[in-house]
Amino acid sequence: MRLATWMPFEVAVRELGFFWGVSLSEATVRRHAYAAGAAHVAVQAAAVERIERGEQPPGPPGPAVQLVSADGAMVPLVGGQWAEARTLAIGTVGPPRRDPKTGEWDVHASELTYFSRLADAETFSRLATVEFWARGTEHAGVVVAPLDGSEWLQGLLDAHRPDAVRVLDFPHALQHVADAGRATFADPAAGAAWLTEQAHRLKHDDPQRVLEALRALPVEAATDPVAATAAREATLGYLEKRRAQLRYAEFRVLGYPIGSGCVESANKLVVQARLKGPGMHWARPHVDPMLALRTVACSGRWTEAWPRIVAELRDAVAGRRTARRRARRAEPPAPLSRPAPHRASVEPLRRLPPRRAPTIVAGRPTAAHPWKRRALGHPTAAAPTSAKS
């Protein structure tokens, strides 16, 4: 199953045969991989239910500064359809390190773990409880959440850590600023210079200066003033709504990450590297089992999770056997239908005439001889016949 988690099923079959001389069909490997993944999905779902009932022991204390980020990636389904798999990444934020190329201080997260499901936002938030619990998010000192502007991500934080420091992903914010500048400046060089200035302000200065620069864009001189005005107003509306999440200079001083690169890498590592290969199309029920195995492997938890997966598989087999036995006991056995015995057709017996007594015995006439019967006056004696003349 571990090989099938990392590579396409047909490749896993080939590698099994090459290294261990094991001959398995692709269908067998596929079936067992889906079963193992579904078992892990069931294990995690059961843990969520225990947490909700208050039956799960408290999680670990959590680090001093924890990174929480989430995003979605599209998965190809059979029939030419696509569906969004949501992925959560949680890591421990370490002290800043100076980039030897740029000289700037960068923030990195370690001990990254992942949770991924093909689910709507509300369902994903509930199921992800198991990962938040495992990483001690509730008890972490500070939770920093660099995210894009999607509303469902804000709901995820509201459910699990409302006091998280919310950071609008810096490249995402800069892209909106670039859209407004591109719609305004006809000269590409002028637009690039303006964007470089705003990027530096956005990262190192008060974001209010960037908002003021957006308002001062010369949209009247644009090739299409109407389109430029619309782009400027849309960018201003988007950024002003998230004004508190643009304090990048302050975040960097505190040693907080300002980009969601961890979860973008998670989308590639967990989802795309295995589920978006050439020609791959997945049945919807098989996506979550594969995502579950991918998160186990990519989080480095295989040794921890595999015994639970095996136990769940065995319990499922035992449960099916018990259900079959109970079903047999509950239903009385059907009577055996035996074929009717074959009876040959017999013609009805004909009544035989009564047996007549012998008329001559030892050369002498008996009482049944007609002569004797006439002589004795037997009632059944035949009348004498007249002599012929």
In a domain, 292, yes or no: no
Residue 292 has pLDDT above 60, yes or no: yes
Coil, strand or helix: which one is 114? strand
In a domain, 50, yes or no: no
Tens digit of each residue's pLDDT (9 = 90 or more) over 35-51: 999 999 999 999 999 99
pLDDT of amino acid 381: 45
In a domain, 190, yes or no: yes
Q: What is the β-pairing status of strands 165-168 and 142-147?
A: parallel
Note whether 70 and 153 are within 8 A (CB): yes
Q: Which domain holds residue 200?
A: 170-249
Q: Is the dihedral of CA 109, 113, 117, 123 positive or negative?
A: negative
Calculate the dihedral angle through the C-alpha atoms of 85, 90, 93, 98, rounding to the nearest 10 degrees: -20
- What residues contact 215, with CB distance under 8 A and at least 6 apart? 232, 236
Per-residue pLDDT, averaged over 169-183, amounts to 96
How far is 328 from 323, CA to CA, in rounded Å? 9
Tens digit of each residue's pLDDT (9 = 90 or more) over 126-160: 999 999 999 999 999 999 999 998 999 999 999 99
Tens digit of each residue's pLDDT (9 = 90 or more) over 235-250: 999 999 999 999 999 9
Mean pLDDT for the chain overall: 89
In a domain, 229, yes or no: yes
In a domain, 378, yes or no: no
In a domain, 184, yes or no: yes
Task: Report the predicted TM-score, pTM, of the whole model to 2 decimal places.
Answer: 0.80
Residue 224 has pLDDT above 50, yes or no: yes
Residue 383 token pair: 């009348």
The tally of domains found in the chain comes to 1
Residue 346 has pLDDT above 70, yes or no: no
What is the secondary structure of 46-69 as a DSSP string?
HHHHHHHHT-SPP-----SEEEEE
Residue 211 token pair: 């908002």
In a domain, 111, yes or no: no
Q: pLDDT grade, residue 1 (50/70/90)?
A: confident
